[in-house]
Amino acid sequence: MEKLFIISNESIFNYEGSFFCDNIDLKSTPEGLSKKFKVNIICRLSKKIRSHKINIENIKAYSNIFSYLSGVLISLKEQKSKYVIISISPFTFMACILIKLFKKKPIVYLRSDGYGEYKSILGFFGLAMYHFMFSIISKISLLISCREYILRNKPGEIVAPSQISSQWLTNHKEPEINRSRLLYVGRIRKEKGIYSLLNLIKEINTDLTLSIVGAEKNSLAQIMQDNVHVHEVENNEKNLIKFYDDHNIFILPSYTEGHPMALLEALSRLRPVIIFKDIEHVVGNKKGIFVAERNSSSLLEQINHIKKNYKNIQQGMKNNNLPTKEQFISKFGDLISKSS
């Protein structure tokens, strides 16, 4: 079995030799690829408790950039191995340069639009920094992305990430729609737009609630609003499906997204989705996604439209052709195998 090193900027928590992450993709993608490759993970070490246990034996986590790059150097002693770098950051940028210096071809998997993320966090400086890193990496790597626009006209391959198993596509539950029960599943981060959404909800004088699923243990007390309920990251698939089924509208307030997997989960449970114009590119040919302006009146208008037309919207959503986790892992693995 061919050896594969997955190099990530994500921080993971080490508890008695077991490793935990917050980003479900860092768990599911390596685990899926482990059926085809001997997977090793190189990432950053977190001091904070994380949520998802990564069921991979060979994981190395490092506390600073020097030890991190030393770990990459050690891995380069392997004669026959492939390297997948997840997302572009200063850490993974330096790792990519090292891999290329050892005359190996790095594969860089872009899950989201780094230009938008870096700009939302660091402004113009972040935009310039990401452009510098992307310009170099795009010349020395094989790019794989979830969206064509993320490649910025550079050559690369497209995959459709998904966490959807057969459980998501069966036994649908009809929701009650008398009261608006909004759901957001994702991390509590500035670039995810969650704080912007909370401000909009404060301005809406109507009977609605918002549930947030994805809080880290140390962030549960950050949000204090009477009609907002915050829950920790949910690891159990059955319980996560129940969160979708117990709500009637899913909302994704992000400023930037590539291929949001929570959106696919909502569509698979026949729950209409509201997004804002910043990420309207994710709509594509999918039915059941509604685009609002980032203000309270536009948001409320879309909520009311969905409630009035709920049954018809659900009927249209049944025609969506959603990618599955099995399809994603299969194509991703094939692209890695064929890379030189």
pTM for this structure?
Answer: 0.83
- For the stretch 255-295, pLDDT in tens is 888 788 899 999 999 999 999 999 998 898 999 999 999 99
Alpha carbons 88 and 117: distance in angstroms, whole number: 11
Contact indicator for 3, 76 with CB cutoff of 8 Å: no
pLDDT at 187 > cutoff 90: no
Q: Where are the domains of the chain?
A: 3-162+326-338, 166-317
In CATH, 166-317 is 3.40.50.2000: yes
User: Mean pLDDT across the chain, nearest whole number?
Assistant: 92
Burial class (CB in 10 A: 0-12, 13-18, 19+), 239: exposed
pLDDT at 221 > cutoff 80: no
Quote the distance between the C-alpha of residue 302 and its chain's center. 25
The count of residues in the chain is: 340
Q: Which amino acid is at 27?
A: K
Contact indicator for 33, 335 with CB cutoff of 8 Å: no
pLDDT at 35 > cutoff 60: yes
For residue 91, the model assigns a pLDDT of 97
pLDDT at 99 > cutoff 70: yes
Q: Which amino acid is at 206?
A: T
Contact indicator for 1, 37 with CB cutoff of 8 Å: yes
Alpha carbons 270 and 172: distance in angstroms, whole number: 8
Res. 317 pLDDT band, cuts 50 70 90: very high
For residue 258, the model assigns a pLDDT of 78
Scanning the chain, the segments in alpha helix (DSSP H) are 24-33, 65-75, 90-101, 114-140, 194-203, 237-245, 261-268, 296-308, 310-317, 325-338
Alpha carbons 40 and 209: distance in angstroms, whole number: 42
Q: Give the homologous superfamily in CATH for domain 3-162+326-338.
A: Glycogen Phosphorylase B; (3.40.50.2000)
**3-162+326-338 and 166-317 share one CATH topology?**
yes
Candidate from 18-22, 53-57, 62-66, 230-234 with smallest mean pLDDT: 230-234
Res. 220 pLDDT band, cuts 50 70 90: low
Candidate from 14-23, 61-70, 188-197, 272-281 with smallest mean pLDDT: 188-197
User: CA of 214: how far to CAs of 19, 22, 76, 164, 194, in Å?
Assistant: 18, 8, 36, 18, 11
Q: Which amino acid is at 110?
A: L
- For the stretch 41-60, pLDDT in tens is 999 999 988 888 999 999 99
